[in-house]
Structure 1
Amino acid sequence: MADRAVTRTGKDEDGDITSLCNPNASWSPRKSGDAIYDIENNVHTYHVPWKSGRTEIRVVNGSTGKYLRTDRDNTNKNNLDDLPDC
């Protein structure tokens, strides 16, 4: 199992996350569906790194299906929507 740092995200026209990216990593880009599989099956973990720590990326069951989200905290700098595009 690898612990993968996510520094960018791909988004569709509605702003939904379509992929997780890190331009310095050989696994990047990783489609959201594949990342969801990785997390749910303990294949890989994903996180957003930042200067004073990290924020885990997890799978959430929404009204339209499963999606990726970071845990809430006091900052928006690590939210998947706020990361630069892949």
Structure 2
Amino acid sequence: MTAKIKIEDIDDGDMSITFNVIQGDVLRIYKSFKAKIQVLKVHKGAGSVEWTLEFEKANVNAPDPEEYVDFAVKMSKGLDAYLCKN
């Protein structure tokens, strides 16, 4: 599945990036689709990542975007590896 995204917002204070899908196969299933990734500080330099998805289904038969969970996990692990090195 393809998706062309636009970075809609980068919030340094919130430590988040919001992406908006503007083209691609994703928009055949959803009228709109946004994803926000936020780094949350927990304790003593450790942290976690939180994903928020906002979407509107193109029709009642459109599935929930569960297949994007695997993508979010892979991207979060990549972000974690990058942050641990830098």
TM-score, reference length from structure 2: 0.31
TM-score, reference length from structure 1: 0.31
Greater C-alpha Rg: 2
Structure whose residues are more often strand by fraction: 2
Structure with the larger RCO, 1 or 2 (CA within 8 Å, 6+ apart): 1
